[in-house]
Copies of this chain bind each other. A is one copy, B any other.
Amino acid sequence: MSLRSTIDFMLYDWLDSVSLTNRNRFIEHSRETFDATLDMCERIAREKYAPFNRLVDIQEPRIEGDRVVLPEATYEAHKAYAESGMLSAAQDADIGGMQLPHSIEAAANAFFACASIGINSSMLTSSNANLLMAHGSPKQQEVFARQEYAGRWSGTMCLSEPQAGSSLSDIVTRAVPDDEANGVAWEHDPLGPRYRLRGNKMWISAGDHELTENIVHLVLAKIPDAEGKLIPGTRGISLFIVPKRLVTENGELTGDRNDVALAGLNHKLGWRGTTNTLLNFGEGKYKVDGKAGAIGYLVGEPGKGLACMFHMMNQARIAVGIGATALGLAGYYASLDYARNRPQGRPILGSGKDSAQAQISIIQHADVKRMLLAQKSYGEGALALALYCARLVDEQQTGDAASADDARLLLDLLTPIAKSWPSEWCLEGNSLAIQIHGGYGYTRDFAVEQYWRDNRLNMIHEGTHGIQALDLLGRKVLMENGRGMQLLAARVQATIIKASAQPRLTEFAQSLGAAVQKLGLATQSAWSTGNPQEALANAVPYMQAMGHTVLAWIWLDQACCVLANDPDLLVPSNQGRIGCTHYFYRFELPKISAWLNVVSARDMTCADFPEDAF
């Protein structure tokens, strides 16, 4: 099935997205406007992204003088995306947005990620602007966010530093109040309290390029105390807008550079269409008013920067999951096409193979079907989870107070799963896509090796697998006395009750019930001694098990929807969804036992392993 038909099923049959148009915020929308958005994105992705996916892998970004050179196709793709209005798809109409549900926006964006993950770095721009809409001053919103939504400027997030990757408490970029400039004291600058920043930021995606006339860096930095010392830990972190080019309070470029210098490009394994940079802030390469130090405008309150940044990070984490998902689906479609068209071998019969017969398409081999089903179950399962999460954002914004609060909490709980699970399993799916291609899959003449390389980033950026797992088991399952887990359990239970009424699904309803119980017991056992070292020693296996359990739930819930609409499975795509549910419950869900055993036992094999014994 195509990505579009899969999205149609999920949005319209499963999530009943059209019902959202009864809510005030979406009252101007209809199935037709949703479809028009999907049509448009599908077309732009097909015309401006897909044909250039290999090109942007080969023509890596490079520096000429002090500029970053990208292939022409990237400019074209950026322009088409900006003109589509998708940068502000979910924003208010009165600031020029389409006021679409987030679930429609997420689905529409999947087309771009599937066509070329590397070209598409616009997620950073819109989530940067979204952060400003939530935490910036009205002036900052008007000057920075609006230009970003229009696609004239783009956005980054500058968190990591060479000595502080995952450990943000160790950043040392400093921000000190700027001197008076043009008669305006630092604290009265219309764009926000004005600081000078000095420090180095690493792994900054889209950190420099000429796609847009300006770049809005959102930068974490520390404001020293009276003695000039940085406050240890994350409490000392503040958030700043640091534009690449200086701007007036009316949002016009002054013509001067800010003191932000491109110190180098990272040469990556994949995802090469997007520059990844080391940026030096305030080293004096581009002095402002004759002085070194990058001009930055404080966003929100001093010392509250990390909390603001999480607004962007959470969006980025879900976007990473969707990107991984889209790559997984891209590999699935490519290998499905290959498997349908490649003749090789013969059926296994009791009588032995008959070499005089013509060869069959490899899709007829059981193991090729297994590899396709695995990919389908990972890719379509992850997409369903992503759209479910996006729907939670819609609920949070437009549901009644109780359901909005539930949606907020459930989304918080599911975010590490929505980020980590596709990163791990859709990568595995890409490996299976290579495998189906055989030797051809190992060549650069086919797309699948690039999907695999591109996807490998997703377990690393926006918080590694290990970080996600600590967040999940160390924070999310505990928060509000475990109410997030209770909410999840209640929704799973509702699915189990629906599925139990369907003879085709009873077996799976039971398996899911057992899995959830096992997960709950493991969660309790992990924390039963109250010692975080023991509880968190096997946080990643815990996250893997919870991920598989959540996905089993998502598949079963979709299966209930399928059978409600097509009880005799007359439609092949519906047979496919039920078959894929079978696959997931028979081949995947049983894996959780091995993961949960070590969690329940608070197994310290790894934690206690002596360093000199490796």
Contacts and interface: CB of A to CB of B under 8 A. Distances in A.
Interface of A: 1, 160, 163-167, 169-170, 202-203, 232-234, 266-270, 336, 340, 343-350, 353, 355-356, 359, 363-370, 372-373, 376, 427, 431, 434-435, 438-439, 441-445, 449, 452-453, 456-457, 459-461, 464-466, 469-470, 474, 530-533, 536-541, 572-573, 575-576, 579, 582-583, 586-588, 590-591, 593-594, 597-598, 601, 603, 605-607, 609-614
A366 B536 contact: yes
Contact of A373 (B359, B456, B605): B605
A407 to B, nearest CB: 29
Contacts of A470: 348
B435 A459 contact: yes
Given A267-B443, A348-B533, A532-B348, A166 B438 contact: yes
A63 to B, nearest CB: 16
B365 A466 contact: yes
B445 A613 contact: no
- Copies of this chain: 2
A460 B439 contact: yes
A163 B610 CA distance: 53
A538 B373 CA distance: 13
A539 B367 CA distance: 8
B532 A349 contact: yes
Given A1-B614, A438-B460, A594-B593, A345 B166 contact: yes
A356 B167 CA distance: 13
Interface centre among A441, A573, A613 (most CB of B within 10 A): A613
A183 B366 CA distance: 55
A610 B355 contact: no
A167 B345 contact: yes
A261 to B, nearest CB: 20
Given A269-B442, A443-B268, A366 B532 contact: no
Contacts of A538: 366, 370
B349 A533 contact: yes
A355 B445 contact: no
Given A160-B439, A537-B366, A605 B593 contact: no
A24 to B, nearest CB: 40
